[in-house]
């Protein structure tokens, strides 16, 4: 299964692959060169298909859990000052996605969307300390009865050129459902209330919709 955000590029890439295969077979007389062109083209098509894959995952809804919003590696767990919405200290957990990770963003918990805002910005590498405040990004705040408000931020990386955010202020969302997509390498930051029990460690691999990031 592939994400709907990849439909156009998958169609174009598949069509180009077919055209290149046909043209190389017809006009390239050197067999090894023809096969090399075809293999390289096929490799890029496979990479695009892999990037836009959207595996179906069964999420066990639990109001006492905050689940990973994306696939990737936990690169930050620390107490920080969140300047945009809370304007106070929060526990930050950041997950870095490489180009080979699934790039679907999922809601980390069920609740009401209290805030959703897009910010244009730079394209620093996603692990850069200033990426969360200077890169292109979206900020979304969800509230439920267990945790109160939590904030997650989709952050574009050096390769990411488009962030898709489905969260709309005032709507109710369900834990694990599709919240958006980030095209190519990127990062998602979670900002949780101080005192929240963190269930992951640095460099741990998180699975979106499955890994329990924090719990009550």
* Active site amino acids: 186
- The 3-state DSSP composition of the chain as helix, strand, coil percent (nearest 5) reads 25, 40, 40
Between the CA of residue 73 and those of 39, 184, 187, what are the distances in Å? 30, 15, 9
**Distance, CA of 50 to CA of 52 (rounded, Å):** 6
d(CA 28, CA 192): 58
Question: Distances in Å between the alpha carbon of 17 and those of 27, 41, 82, 174?
Answer: 15, 6, 46, 38
């Amino acid at each position: 299964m592939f994400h709907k955000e990849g439909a156009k590029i998958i169609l174009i890439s598949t069509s180009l692959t077919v055209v290149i295969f046909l043209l190389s077979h017809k006009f390239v007389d050197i067999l090894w060169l023809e096969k090399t062109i075809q293999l390289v083209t096929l490799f890029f098509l496979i990479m695009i298909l892999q990037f836009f894959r959207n595996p179906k995952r069964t999420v066990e809804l639990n109001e006492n859990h905050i689940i990973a919003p994306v696939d990737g590696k936990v690169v930050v767990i620390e107490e920080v000052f969140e300047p945009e919405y809370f304007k106070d200290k929060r526990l930050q957990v950041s997950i870095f996605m490489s180009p080979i990770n699934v790039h679907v963003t999922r809601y980390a918990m069920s609740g009401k969307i209290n805030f959703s805002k897009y910010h244009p910005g730079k394209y620093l590498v996603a692990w850069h300390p200033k990426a969360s405040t200077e890169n292109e990004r979206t900020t979304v705040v969800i509230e439920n009865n267990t945790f109160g408000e939590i904030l997650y931020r989709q952050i574009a990386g050096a390769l990411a050129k488009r962030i898709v955010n489905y969260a709309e202020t005032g709507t109710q969302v369900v834990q694990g459902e599709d919240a958006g997509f980030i095209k190519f390498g990127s990062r998602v930051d979670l900002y949780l209330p101080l005192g929240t029990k963190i269930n992951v460690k640095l460099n741990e691999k998180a699975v979106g919709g499955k890994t329990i990031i924090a719990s009550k």
